[in-house]
Structure 1
Amino acid sequence: MTDKIRKVPDGDPSGPSLSKTSSGTPASLPAGTPYEAIKAIPVRHYGRWVSAVVVVALLAWLIYAFSQGNIIWDTVWGKLFDGTILSGLWSTIVISVASMALGLVLGVLFAVMRLSKNPVTGAVAWLYIWFFRGTPVYVQLLVWFNLSLIFEYINLGPIYKNETVDVMTPFMVALLGLGLNEGAYMAEIVRAGIQSVDEGQTEAAHALGMSQPKTMWRVVLPQAMRVIVPPTGNEFINMLKTSSLVSAVQYTELLRASSNIGNTAGAVMEMLFVASIWYLVLTSVFSVGQYYLERRFARGSTRNLPPTPWQRIKANLTTTKRSEVSA
């Protein structure tokens, strides 16, 4: 049995309400009858509030614990812009960018070699990737640093000849150790990006008379960048942190500069905090750059580009204001 529809006098803005059948399903209204406005009641997520309170409490406890520790915070803030620290910071940026550039060039080269139909170049590329991915970067740095124990001279015939000790400076050791290791990882990233491009693109370019190198440079790689850029950005941010290992080969970067001051002034932990703050700053800045680079290469592959950080902030503020008005 179906309940009758409630009659509403003419002029009542609320209009007739929708009654329900005995089974709980809405009853049908006569044609042309206006519906009442639906008042949506948001679902309350109590679990979110509980988890937020727990996380804030743990964070407050952590901050309180460090504030009560035996740490001279004046030393941390006072040494943050010390000349030696800033010099080490610049050296970290230089070695990271140079090593990443070397790794990117080697990655493209060995990725193309591995995808080549030539079995010799394919085998050489595979061996390179296998060796440098299979051994720790710290061990590779030490091998380059102690290379003079094996080769007293670097002799390239009439082209170049010099003592290994003079050639293997701390910068050169750091560059080779980080760059060659990064090249192995970039080769796999570039290879995956190239294979993500449909083979029809290459066939169409060849049908137009384009050579294999020109097809790779003008057709395949620009489309593969959409897949290559995100992991490459992650690799560079990882490189910023991995560069701290080169302090073992006497290269004065951020960590070594901080440690030198800490050991001299007796403020080891304070200077480690200084180094950590600058590493956080570097990774944050380059993460923003990575985001905008990914957003640029996403054009044409997605219907709507992901919002920028400022657009997200504006959207959240707008949502908050609407919620306050609705409440």
Structure 2
Amino acid sequence: MTSAPPPSPSSATARPRRVVHRRPWGPWIFAALVLAALAVLLHAAIKAQVLKASIFLEYLFSRLVLEGAVNSLMLGTTALLLAGLVGLVAALMRVSGNPILTAFASTYIYLFRGTPMLIQLIFWFNAFPIMFPQLHIAIPFTSWVLLDAPMTSVITPHVAALIGLSLAEGAYMAEIIRGGFLAVDNGQRDAARAIGMPHGLLMRKVVIPQAARIIVPAAGNQYILLLKSTSLASAIGYLELLRISTDIYAANFHVVELLAVAGFWYLVMTAFATALQTALEKLFPHR
């Protein structure tokens, strides 16, 4: 009986063939075309002197422009904080299990997400004072009057912008927060209830800390969007960044330069919001 010949040394020590992947040239070709198109546009803009650098630099740190940028940043930040509170209340109402609270919160979210934000701002500034011309606040069953003033003196452009942006953004924040709540495993809720933990303590100690990991990134994106949406307040006369920029170029006709200045400061605000979002995400890391 003959045995099989032993394997040759060359075959035993043979190395597997190296797989050479083909280089994807398509994305590089597309990127080169995009860069070429940008270079052509930049060259044409420089040659045509579309933007005068001296005018741009003159107004970049102008006192009026900086005041507008600060107003936009403060309005967007305050509106986000109020929207977070409104959204938290609406989200808790949605998940409460009470049909009346759920219906109320669902109606609020539907109305304020379904109508344009600009219409809401105009409503609060123009229509609301017509519907309620006088603001009268008094303590019931007494003669003490806390406030009695025309609604037009109370609903200023800043107040109308803050109310409109907060309520509109609150509808989006409500769904973001509710999504974070629903992402927490039901088993943890059941375990907390099994040891007799009250519902409020369950939300504070179990649900909200874990939901924050999902809520923070989405809320950061909404903050960036809200900072840019403050430009809508220019339609009701609030002196934010875009309104001041348009007022300046309406007087000196340097439209391109002033819009470039406004765009620059919006980018700065976006960078600030992005850095803040990154810092908050480190406080609630995904595990």
State whether TM-score is above 0.5.
yes
- RCO (CA 8 Å, sep 6+): is it higher in 1 or 2? 2
- 1:203: Cα distance to partner? 2.0
Among 129, 137, 155, the residue aligned to 1:156: 137
Larger Cα-atom Rg:
1
1:229 maps to 216
Q: Please name the residue that 1:59 is paired with.
A: 38
Distance, in Å, in 2 between the alignment partners of 1:137 and 1:45 is 44
**Mind listing any 5+ residue stretches in structure 1 that lack a counterpart?**
6-15, 19-27, 302-327
Query: Which letter does structure 1 place at the counterpart of 2:195?
Result: L
SS at structure 1 position matched to 2:196:
coil
Deviation track 1:41-70 (CA, whole Å, cap 9, x = no partner) reads: 664333343223212101111211222333
- CA gap of 1:291–1:38, structure 2 versus 1, over 3 A, is farther
Give the structure-2-normalised TM-score. 0.88
- Distance apart, 1:225 and its partner CA: 1.0
**Cα gap change, 1:38 to 1:295, in 2 (>3 Å):** farther
User: For 1:251, what is the secondary structure of its paired residue?
Assistant: coil
Partner SS, residue 156 of structure 1: strand
Q: 1:46 to 1:124 in 2, by over 3 A?
A: closer
Percent identity of paired positions between Structure 1 and Structure 2: 39
Q: Deviations over 1:240-259 (max 9, x none)?
A: 11100001111101101111
Distance 1:209 1:100 in 2: 35
Give the stretch that moved more between structures: 185-194 or 154-163.
Answer: 154-163
Q: Does residue 165 in structure 1 map to residue 144 in structure 2?
A: no
Residue 219 (structure 1) aligns with: 206
**Amino acid paired to 2:235:** A
The reply to whether residue 140 of structure 1 matches residue 127 of structure 2 is no
CA distance in 1, matches of 2:105, 2:27: 50
Kindly indicate whether residue 67 of structure 2 is the aligned counterpart of residue 87 of structure 1. Answer: yes
Which deviations, in whole Å up to 9, do the C-alpha atoms of 1:175-214 show, x marking residues without a partner?
Answer: 0010000011111111111011111212222233321112
Letter paired with 1:227: I
Aligned-pair Cα RMSD in Å = 2.2
CA distance in 2: counterparts of 1:48 and 1:181, whole angstroms: 40
Partners in 2 of 1:211 and 1:67 — Cα distance?
67
Correspondence for 2:28 = 49
> Corresponding residue for 1:285?
272
Please give the secondary structure, in 1, of the residue aligned with 2:70.
helix
In structure 2, what is the Cα distance between the partners aligned to 1:157 and 1:220?
40
Q: Work out whether 1:250 is the aligned partner of 2:258.
A: no
2:58 and 2:230 mapped to 1: Cα distance? 24
1:223/1:250 Cα in 2 relative to 1: closer, same or farther (>3 Å)? same
How far is 1:143 from its partner?
A: 0.7
Other-structure match for 2:3: none
Mark the CA change 1:124 to 1:42 in structure 2 (over 3 Å): closer, same or farther: closer
- Cα deviation for residue 295 of structure 1 reads 4.2
SS in structure 2 opposite 1:239? helix
CA distance in 2, matches of 1:286, 1:293: 11
Matched positions, count:
274
Alignment partners' CA distance in 2, 1:287 and 1:257: 25
For structure 2, list consecutive stretches of 5 or more residues without a partner in the other structure: 1-6, 140-145
Residues in 2 aligned to 1:202 and 1:241: alpha-carbon distance in whole angstroms: 38
- 1:244-282 per-position Cα deviation (integer Å, ceiling 9, x unaligned): 000111110110111111112221221011101111121
TM-score (norm 1): 0.78
Which SS does the other structure have where 1:155 is aligned?
strand
Query: How many Å separate the matches in 2 of 1:48 and 1:143?
Result: 48
Residue equivalent to 2:143: none
Q: What is the Cα deviation at residue 136 of structure 1?
A: 0.8
For 2:62 and 2:209, the matched residues in 1 are separated by: 43
